[in-house]
Structure 1
Amino acid sequence: MRVWTTIAVLILATSMNASAQNRMPPIPADKMTNDQKKALEDFLAARGTPTGPWVALLRSPDVMTRARALSDYLRFKSVLPPRLSEFVILMTARHWTQQYEWNAHYQLAMTGGLKPDVAKAIAEGRRPEHMAEDEEILYNFCMELHRNQSVSDVTYARAVSKFGEQGVIDTVSLTGYYVMISMILNTARTPLPEGVTPALAPFPR
């Protein structure tokens, strides 16, 4: 019963909040496969009602379940504290101009201790001023990875010195995971919640 109630709520919320361009709204109950129903049940037990990328990810239930497990580690168990993990997520959202991702993580970054002026600079596509040392190291690392698809020896050495090899792998994995989420959201054209204004201007092309 809980699954069917959740599906009804999802469909109603989407019909009220989504723009017409939403390519992957919630799947109607009578269209779900058994694997999708099982993935939804597992998600409900672990996190509650799926929103955002999870609505689209239900199209591939095994990917949804495995992505949730990776997300649980990267968000809550990695060696990076919330201030830094959310900083990495915001940089990724900005690189992909992913409005939903930015909106979902901006307040988490503030709660984690990231300074508003640092987030504002990221949103505007600028290098933040007055970053903490660990933020500057992560900024250089992530920006090189996004822009150059590689990391210089100097930048790599600073990251390993500060965060260790596990921290470097956690950072790369966090970045890569949210690149995937950005791609899913951009492909699905997942809309922002109703009444939310997009925070990111498109980059010039």
Structure 2
Amino acid sequence: MSTAQGFGPMTNERLPLPSREGMSEAQQAAADSIINGPRKAIFGPFVPLLQVPALMEHIGKTGETLRFHGSLKDAIRELAICVVSRETGNQFEWQTHAPAAIKAGVKEEAIASLGAGRRPRDLPGDQACAVDFAQELMLRQGVSDATYAEAVAHFGEPGTVELTALIGYFTMVCWVMNVARTPGPAGSNAPALAAFP
């Protein structure tokens, strides 16, 4: 069973995955590109993005670079994704990445705090910096000099650019899924997000 996306009375999926026979040649080629890559299947944001195959392929490559070839530690990457998915209210990314963050070494209590809409306490310095950076960027569309300097001290300039791009990428795919009402992953044990009060 999947968690429906959205917090209103209508949560039906707007853009479900078409059957292989119902796909155009371009859609089939784009689907095969994702299936033959590290993801091995069409799921999450790639379901609605399949509507625009060339866009799906390019977005997929960007995500592949950020997730599988980046320099950030797994805990930092997964924690930043959790901040984005909580702030955007996206079930799919939350239920996918909250367990991955815990597996990567983020305290379960920190993820529970984020899920409840609170800032986690008692995080290691680099994790606290990642949370502050992601929340500030999403709220203000930029970061202060102090936040930037702290990020550079923890992640270097390349890592700070990568963190910024990661936040932007996941904001985009969460928005795509929110518009499409793409449900959370089937069979996830992670608790669903509730609407903010």
What percentage of residue pairs aligned between the two structures are identical? 35
Measure the CA separation in 1 of the matches of 2:97 and 2:76: 12
**Take 2:3 and 2:51, find their aligned partners in 1: how far apart are those partners?**
18
More helix by share: 1
Which position in structure 2 is the counterpart of 1:11?
none
Bigger Cα displacement from structure 2, 88-97 vs 27-36:
27-36
Aligned equivalent of 1:45, options 36, 53, 56: 36
Task: State yes or no: 1:136 paired with 2:128.
Answer: yes
2:98 equivalent to 1:102: no
Q: Structure 1 residue 92 and structure 2 residue 111: aligned? A: no
Secondary structure in 1 aligned to 2:33? Answer: helix
Tell me the CA shift for residue 195 of structure 1.
5.8
Aligned equivalents of 1:52 and 1:101: distance in 2? Answer: 8
Amino acid corresponding to residue 12 of structure 2 in structure 1: Q
* Equivalent in the alignment of 1:201: 194
Give the TM-score normalised by structure 2.
0.89
Q: 1:181 aligns with which of 173, 176, 185?
A: 173
Equivalent residues in 2 for 1:1-205 (5 A)? 21-46=12-37, 47-194=39-186, 199-204=192-197
Deviation at 1:142?
1.2
* Alpha carbons of structure 1 residues 185 and 198: separation in structure 2 relative to 1, 3 Å: farther
- For residues 173-200 of structure 1, give each alpha carbon's deviation from its aligned partner in whole angstroms, at most 9, with x where no partner exists: 0000000111011011012345657521
Structure 1: 5+ residue runs without aligned partners? 1-15
Amino acid at match of 1:70: T
1:17 shift after superposition: 5.8
Aligned residues: 189
Worse-matched range after superposition: 189-198 or 81-90: 189-198
Contact 1:36 1:58 (8 Å CA) reproduced: yes
Output the CA distance in 2 between the equivalents of 1:193 and 1:69: 21
5+ long unaligned stretches in structure 2: 5-10
RMSD of aligned alpha carbons = 1.9
| Deviation larger for 18-27 or 151-160 | 18-27
Distance 1:28 1:184 in 2: 20
Deviation by residue 1:86-134 (Cα, 9 ceiling, x = unmatched) = 0000000000011111001111111111110111111111111110010
Q: Deviations over 1:134-155 (max 9, x none)?
A: 0111111111111111211111
Runs (4 or more) in structure 1 with deviation over 2 Å come to 16-20, 28-31, 192-199
Paired residue type of 2:108: P
Counterpart residue identity of residue 120, structure 1:
A
Q: Is the 8 A contact 1:99 1:198 kept in 2?
A: no
Write the distance in 1 (CA, Å) between the matches of 2:35 and 2:24. Answer: 17
Work out the CA distance in 1 between the residues paired with 2:169 and 2:73: 17
Bigger RCO of structures 1 and 2 (CA < 8 A, at least 6 apart): 2
Q: Which residue of 1 aligns with 2:8?
A: none
- Deviation at 1:21? 1.1
Separation in structure 2 between the aligned mates of residue 187 and residue 49 of structure 1, nearest angstrom: 21
